[in-house]
Amino acid sequence: MRLLLALFSLGFLAMSTSPASSAGSEQPAPSPSPAPAPAGAETLVLGGGCFWCVEAAYELVPGVLSVESGYAGGKRPNPTYEQVCTGATGHAEVVKITFDPAVVTRARLIDFFWDIHDPTTLNRQGADVGTQYRSVIYYANAEEKALIDASLAKANAESWGGKIVTEVSPLPPFYPAEEYHQDYYQKNPSAGYCRVVIKPKLDKLKQSPLLKSGER
Which tens digit of pLDDT belongs to each residue from 29-43?
Answer: 455 556 677 789 999
The answer as to whether 27 is a domain residue is: no
Chain centroid offset of residue 175 CA: 12
Q: Residue 215: inside a domain, yes or no?
A: no
130 in any annotated domain: yes
Among candidates 211, 48, 69, 45, which has minimal Cα distance to 141?
Answer: 45
Q: Count the domains in the chain.
A: 1
The answer to the question of residue 214 being in a domain is: no
What percent of the chain lies above the pLDDT cut of 90? 77
Nearest to 183 by CA among 64, 102, 67: 67
Q: Is residue 24 part of a domain?
A: no
Check: CB of residue 35 under 8 Å from CB of residue 41: no
Residue numbers of the domain that contains 117: 2-6+39-207
Return d(Cα 216, Cα 212) in angstroms, integer.
12
For residue 42, the SS3 value is strand
CB atoms under 10 Å from CB of 186, counted, come to: 11
CATH number at residue 137: 3.30.1060.10
* 53 belongs to a structural domain: yes
Q: Is residue 198 part of a domain?
A: yes
Cα separations (Å) of 126 from 1, 2, 77, 121, 134? 9, 10, 28, 9, 11
- pLDDT, tens only, 89-132: 999 999 999 999 999 999 999 999 999 999 999 999 999 999 99
Is position 17 within any domain?
Answer: no
- Catalytic one among 50, 53, 85, 194? 50
Q: What is the pTM of this model?
A: 0.84
**Mean pLDDT throughout 147-169?**
98
Q: Reply yes or no on whether 194 is catalytic.
A: no
pLDDT reported for residue 214: 53
